[in-house]
Amino acid sequence: MSHPRGFRILFACLVCIGIGQSMLFAILPPAARKIGLTPFQVSTIFATSATIWVFLSPMWGRRSDVAGRRSVILIGLLGFALSMTLLAAMIEIGLAGLLPMILVYPLMVASRSVFALLGSGTGPASQAYVADRTSRTERTAGVSLVSAALGAGQTIGPAIGAGLTIIGLLAPLYFSAALAVLSAVMIWAYLPEDGPPVKHGEERPPKMSFRDRRVLPFLLVATCQQAVRATTVITLAFFLQDTLHLGAKQTVQYSGIAFSVLAVSGLFAQLVLVQRFRPSARFMMGAGLPLSLGAFVLFVLRGGFGQFLAALVLLGMGLGLVRPGYAAGASLSVEANEQGAVAGLTGAIGVIGNIFGPLIGTTLYEMNPIGPYALNAAIMACALVFVLTNRRIRALRA
C-alpha cells in the first residue's frame, strides 16, 4: 500500500479511540450505580448516543467528501475528548452531591451524546481516507486496518483502565480524553492529505441513501453481522454462568477469557490473514459467514468450556472477515468522490444492529438461553445464502 506513514498514524489514533471506548464500558456501570442510576438508565445513556449516531454518521461521511478527511477526523477526536471529559465531570458532580440526580442524569446523557454529535465522523472519514489511497486490490486489506485498530484498542483498554483505577475511579476517562487530544495533535501535524476529495468547481455527488442499490446488499450484511455480534456480547456472560453453573467470581474469570479469545481471533483474521493473503471482499464475506454459522451451531449444541472457546475462535475469525468484507465491498461499488458517504452509511447501519440486536437477544434469552444463539445461527445462514446468490455481490471484482 502507498502512504504507509499516514496509515500508521491513523491506526495509532484509532487504537486510542478503542481504548477509551472499552474503558468507558467498564467504568460507567459501577460509577453510575454509586450515584444511584439504574441499569436501565445506564443503557439509555448509550442508546441515546447510538440513535444520534445513526443519523449523523452519514452526514459526517458526506462532509468528509467535500471538506477533506483530516478535518472531520480532527473534529471527531476532539469531540470524543470533550465528551469523555464532560461525562467524567458529571459523574464527579453526582458523587459529590453537588447537583440532584434529576439534573445529573440528563447531563450525563447529553455529555455522552456529544460524542455522537461530533465524533461520529471519525470512523467514516478514516475509512474513506484509506479508500482514497488504496487500489481496488488493496481495498479490503486497507479497510480491515480501520476495524482492526479499534479492535486492538478494545482488547488492551480494560487492562489499562484497571491499572488507572488505582489513581481514581474516573482516571481512565480523563486519560482517554487526553489520548484523544494527543491523537488530534498527531493527525493535525503528521497525517498527509493532498486536499478535499471534491475540489472547488467540481460537481458534488448526490446524497447517498440507505436504499442505494449499489450498496444496499452490503448494508444488509452489515446489519446482520452487527446484530449477532451485539447479541452475543450482551448475553455471553449470562450464558456461560447458566450453562456451566458458575458462581459470580468464576463467571467474571471465564467471561474475561472468552471475550479475550473472541477479540484476539478477530485481530488475527484482520491483521494476519487479510494482510497476508489480501482476499477479495466477496471471498471474505463468503468465508466469514460459514465460520460464524459454525460458531453458533456449537453454542446451540452446548458442551464444556473448551467447546465454547472453540466456538468463539470461529466467531472472532468470522466476524473479523465479514466486517472489512462488506465495508470494502460497499467502497468498491461507488465512485471515488462518494467514499465518505458510503463509509458513513456502513457505520450508521452497524449501530442500528447494535441497538436492536441486544433487545431481541435478551428477550429470547429469558425464554431459553439457547434462543439468541439459535436465532444468530439462522441469521448467519440466511446471510450466507444471500451473499452467495446476490447478483451485485457476485459481480464484485477485486
> What is the number of domains present in the chain?
2
pLDDT tens digit sequence for 246-258: 886 788 678 878 8
Residue 128 lies in a domain: yes
The three-state secondary structure class of 230 is helix
Domain match, 258 and 335 both: yes
96 grid coordinates:
459529590
Give the per-residue pLDDT at 252. Answer: 66
139 grid coordinates:
481495498
Does residue 397 carry a pLDDT above 60?
Answer: no
C-alpha dihedral, 383 to 389 to 392 to 395, nearest 10°: 120
Domain match, 21 and 128 both: yes
pLDDT tens digit sequence for 307-318: 999 999 999 999
Strongest mean pLDDT among 137-151, 157-171, 274-288: 274-288
Give the per-residue pLDDT at 269. Answer: 92
Tell me which amino acid residue 149 is.
Answer: A
Rounded Cα distance, 179 and 16, in Å:
6
pLDDT band for position 398 (cuts 50, 70, 90)? very low
Q: Is the pTM of this model over 0.85?
A: no
**For residue 183, what are the domain limits?**
4-190
Give the per-residue pLDDT at 379. Answer: 95
The burial of 244, by beta-carbon neighbours within 10 Å (0-12 exposed, 13-18 middle, 19 or more buried), is given as middle
Is there a contact between 186 and 9 (Cβ–Cβ < 8 Å)?
A: yes
Domain match, 220 and 116 both: no
DSSP-assigned letter for residue 136: G
Q: Which residue has the cell 439457547?
A: 370
pLDDT tens digit sequence for 280-289: 889 999 999 9
DSSP-assigned letter for residue 273: I
Is there a contact between 9 and 69 (Cβ–Cβ < 8 Å)?
A: no
Give the per-residue pLDDT at 371. Answer: 92
Rounded Cα distance, 57 and 49, in Å:
11
Rounded Cα distance, 194 and 306, in Å:
51
Residue 211 CB coordination number (10 Å): 8
Residue 360 CA to its chain's centroid (Å): 19
Domain match, 160 and 277 both: no
pLDDT tens digit sequence for 42-53: 778 887 888 899
Instruction: Name the average pLDDT for the chain.
Output: 86
Give the per-residue pLDDT at 2. Answer: 52
Residue 195 lies in a domain: no
Residue 197 lies in a domain: no
Residue 294 lies in a domain: yes
Rounded Cα distance, 259 and 350, in Å:
20
Span 88-92, average pLDDT? 94
| Total number of residues shown for the chain | 398
